[in-house]
């Protein structure tokens, strides 16, 4: 049974069929093909960029309040189709339906609304001495997005770009492309002019590189792996366009010896296992006092036992399949590597969960006594694998937290002042203290090889603007 939604390119306000091969969209729980999208070409990108270029002058000249109102209507349109979005994402990439409703479908609604609300108070112009400083749209934005949060990652780029006055050419992930079609339909219904938002399906090496290299694209905003981000930056450098990168992570959850241990472990495990661990901002490293590691293990194992693995359409499921068979193989390979390297396996392990012989399933896994410099503590696994790493004092905890090439998110649990002091020392773009709630107005982005640039809030809007000084 196929998933019904727009599964063509969307260029200049029209559905455009592909001229070449088709790409299967596979349900990772059943291995069933649920839809197909066209495998786009450089010529398709040329056509989309031409449409975005033609639409840019009129859209850039539109009053920011009117642009924001259309984005607000897009938010409302996404909310009306929330159940369709949730079920579509569950089928195309395996997120449990409860998570798809709570996050995959709901977060894009909140993010779009937050950007719409920013326009009225944003400093579009500023007087500095005899200079009028003007914030203007950058032009045509190429957006390249991943499969793990397929609509959220798209809206996090498209909403601020539209409010800024930019036009967009989007390449969604070919593994989870279907909600991009829903967004195109919703945007058109909201009154977005033709050509302002365009979608070209296809692979990274073809469509992604064509967008990054295109002379008509003024900025590329990319979310994905650090390896792919390096390639996007290298290709884009030939035309010296702006590049914003939100890349991989290997984030640390530092639990201090005065923390509420039960809360810290349960919450930390939830962040580590969310979306099956397929989250760039997950906390796969739990850094704990050596003297309390045994307590942490007991709590973590008990909490992990509550994570039901199975059919993602079942309301009781907390971990569905990995997004593809290739991703399942990757995660299972890291679990095998952890065992081979001598980390202490305390939960899960290699192989498929009992009773799940079909589908891209892995066993949620916890390792303890993990060496900070080991492969499973340094490389991004992108699966439900938690590594518990003991430390001897606060300085040692900070050293371990900062010891990877990544710096995207993190957590600290402990007394307020002490936790804040540790958070300030962590070389990462976002730190939550004692499980603080997500703030869609706060900037999000990475240090080191987790990328550059920021998403969300005022900082996220500024990413899509140029700055001009007019002296008078």
CA distance 39 to 125: 42
Q: State the catalytic residue, choosing from 92, 174, 209, 246.
A: 246
Q: Is position 246 annotated as part of the catalytic site?
A: yes
Q: Catalytic positions, please?
A: 246
């Amino acid at each position: 049974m196929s998933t019904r939604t727009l599964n063509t390119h969307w260029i200049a306000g029209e559905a455009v069929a592909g001229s070449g091969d088709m790409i299967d969209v596979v349900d990772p729980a059943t291995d069933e093909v649920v839809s197909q999208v066209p495998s786009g070409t450089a010529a398709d990108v040329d056509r989309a960029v031409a449409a975005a270029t033609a639409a840019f002058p009129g859209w850039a000249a539109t009053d920011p309040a009117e642009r924001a109102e259309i984005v607000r209507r897009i938010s409302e349109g996404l909310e009306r189709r929330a159940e369709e979005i949730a079920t579509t994402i569950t089928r195309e990439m395996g997120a449990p339906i409860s998570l798809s409703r709570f996050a995959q479908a709901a977060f894009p609604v909140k993010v779009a609304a937050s950007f719409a609300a920013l326009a009225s108070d944003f400093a579009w112009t500023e007087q500095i001495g005899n200079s009028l400083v003007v914030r203007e749209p950058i032009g045509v934005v190429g957006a390249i997005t991943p499969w793990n949060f397929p609509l959220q990652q798209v809206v996090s780029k498209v909403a601020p770009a539209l409010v800024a006055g930019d036009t967009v050419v989007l390449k969604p992930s070919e593994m989870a492309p279907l909600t991009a079609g829903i967004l195109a339909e919703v945007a058109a219904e909201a009154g977005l002019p033709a050509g302002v938002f365009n979608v070209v399906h296809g692979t990274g090496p073809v469509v992604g590189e064509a967008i990054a290299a295109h002379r008509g694209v003024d900025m590329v905003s990319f979310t994905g792996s650090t390896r792919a981000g390096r390639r996007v930056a290298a290709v884009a450098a030939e035309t010296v366009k702006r590049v914003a990168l939100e890349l991989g992570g290997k984030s640390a959850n530092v639990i201090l010896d005065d923390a509420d241990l039960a809360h810290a472990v349960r919450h930390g495990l939830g962040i580590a296992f969310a979306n099956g661990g397929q989250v760039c901002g997950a906390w796969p490293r739990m850094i704990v006092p050596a003297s309390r590691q045994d307590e942490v293990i007991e709590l973590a194992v008990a909490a992990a036992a509550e994570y039901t693995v199975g059919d993602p359409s079942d309301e009781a499921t907390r971990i569905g399949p990995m997004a593809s068979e290739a991703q399942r193989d990757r995660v299972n390979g890291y679990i095998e590597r952890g065992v081979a390297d001598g980390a202490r396996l305390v939960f899960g392990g290699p192989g498929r969960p009992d009773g799940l012989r079909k589908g891209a399933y892995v066993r949620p896994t916890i390792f303890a006594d993990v060496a900070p410099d080991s492969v499973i503590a340094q490389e991004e696994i992108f699966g439900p694998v938690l590594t518990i790493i003991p430390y001897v004092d606060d300085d040692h905890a900070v050293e371990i937290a900062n010891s990877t090439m990544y710096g995207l998110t993190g957590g600290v649990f402990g007394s307020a002042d002490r936790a804040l002091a540790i958070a300030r020392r962590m070389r990462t773009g976002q730190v939550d203290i004692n499980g603080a709630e997500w703030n869609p107005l706060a900037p999000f982005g990475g240090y080191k090889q987790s990328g550059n640039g920021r998403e969300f809030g005022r900082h996220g809007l500024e990413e899509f603007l140029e700055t001009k000084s007019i002296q008078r």
